[in-house]
Structure 1
């Protein structure tokens, strides 16, 4: 299947600068003539807003199902139409975040992969990381956005789980770019991403490609 636009996703622990980097990347691509649409998950539709509002109270497998349902709806109503209209879609959180945040909530990876077996895979999955101490300091300054960020041990666990998520995505033949933001500015990080973004191609990865069981 062909699609004119590129799907670039940005994931990583809270406090690594995903939102600011995404904004810088969008500005950089637009300066170079690329039509860009920015979005985020949970999405801004009613299902996504419900998910965001109740994520501190709905847990485990139920939350994983809700996140996946929002993703499928997000793809159908926003992401795929934008890609088909030859726009680059930049998404703040996507599949990699599911493979980390829902595992923090006790959901095993094989269940998550099955639940997301038919989602659109990114043309480039960017995983931002930083030293756990840096993340903790940033979260203290910024404040926690959800219950997962309230645990001081979460940054170190997230960093490890994102390393595992990168390997899982690579087994799924998804191009993965891991960038450390401990010292880099959002603008510097955005330039690195733009340099590594895949060229517009005639073919894309089969969304049904699955990794070997990592266990």
Structure 2
């Protein structure tokens, strides 16, 4: 039996990395084999895409991110899924739709670049009130030029909600959550229960 592929995307300051950490703990405590990873990956292509956004932008950065994604799928994500693990990925296609669009790349181009990438079994999309997200970023420090204050947070919040709706209409299984007031522990339990239910259905019968 193959594993379950779960992606966690969302605006800066919404708590993606924190949720992945708590989900990993929640699921492993319940006996599930779990592998956590991130995009851009920590391979050479991913490190360029992650740390050199001041040099690369637009279509160039979109291509770098997509190339790293396909390499990541081949070398890490699919092998762990084939071994029956739950793979938790911090950022995936949803982030590309939003960030590359914000970087001036047409959505149709981003969609074409990612057309052959694996669809996750569950795509978690996190948003938060822009003022709250911007304050969280200011407290921990910006990770890239994509985190540039309240104006960016307002735009990201709207775009992630739009993309979540678009993916749902396209048949993706999406869990869209506002993290403004919910604790990471509560959210991990909520999403963890949903993942556990999907694993159970995979084990005992056809997917619903």
TM class, shorter-length: over 0.9
Note the alpha carbon deviations across 1:77-97, whole angstroms, 9 max, x for none.
000000000010000000100
Higher helix residue share: 2
Cα distance, 1:194 vs. partner? 1.1
1:47 to 45, 48, 53: 45
Q: Give the Cα–Cα distance (whole angstroms) in 1 for the partners of residues 54 and 7 of structure 2.
A: 24
Deviations, residues 169-208 of structure 1 (Å, cap 9, x unaligned): 113311000111111111111111112225233878xxxx
Determine helix, strand or coil for the equivalent of 1:150.
Answer: coil
Q: How many residues align?
A: 202
Distance 1:114 1:46 in 2: 23
Output aligned runs, 1:26-45, within 5 Å.
26-45=24-43
- Secondary structure of the residue aligned to 2:150 is coil
Please say if 1:4 is aligned against 2:2. yes
1:172 is matched with which residue?
170
Match of 2:121 in 1: 123
| Selected match of 2:15 from 17, 22, 27 | 17
Find the aligned partners of 1:28 and 1:91 in 2 and give their Cα distance: 15
Show the counterpart of 2:161.
163
Equivalent residue for 1:199?
Answer: 198
- Do the aligned residues in 1 keep the contact of 2:134 with 2:149 (CA within 8 Å)? no
Flag the 1:116–1:203 CA change in 2: closer, same or farther, 3 A: farther
Instruction: Kindly indicate whether residue 97 of structure 2 is the aligned counterpart of residue 91 of structure 1.
Output: no
- 3-state SS of paired residue (1:149): coil
SS in 2 for 1:144: coil
User: In 2, distance between residues paired with 1:145 and 1:75?
Assistant: 24
Number of the residue aligned with 2:77: 79
Root-mean-square deviation (Å): 1.4
Q: Deviations over 1:11-47 (max 9, x none)?
A: 1111111111110000000011100000000001111
Which residue of structure 2 aligns with residue 57 of structure 1? 55
Q: Which moved more, 1:49-58 or 1:34-43?
A: 49-58
Residues 159 and 86 of structure 1, relative CA distance in 2, 3 Å threshold: same
1:139 Cα deviation from its structure 2 partner: 1.0
Alignment TM-score, normalising by the size of structure 1? 0.90
Structure-2 separation of matches of 1:182 and 1:171: 25
Q: Provide the residue aligned with 1:136 in structure 2.
A: 134
Q: Which runs of 5+ in 2 are unaligned?
A: none
For the residue of structure 2 that corresponds to 1:166, the secondary structure is helix
- The CA deviation at 1:151 is 4.1
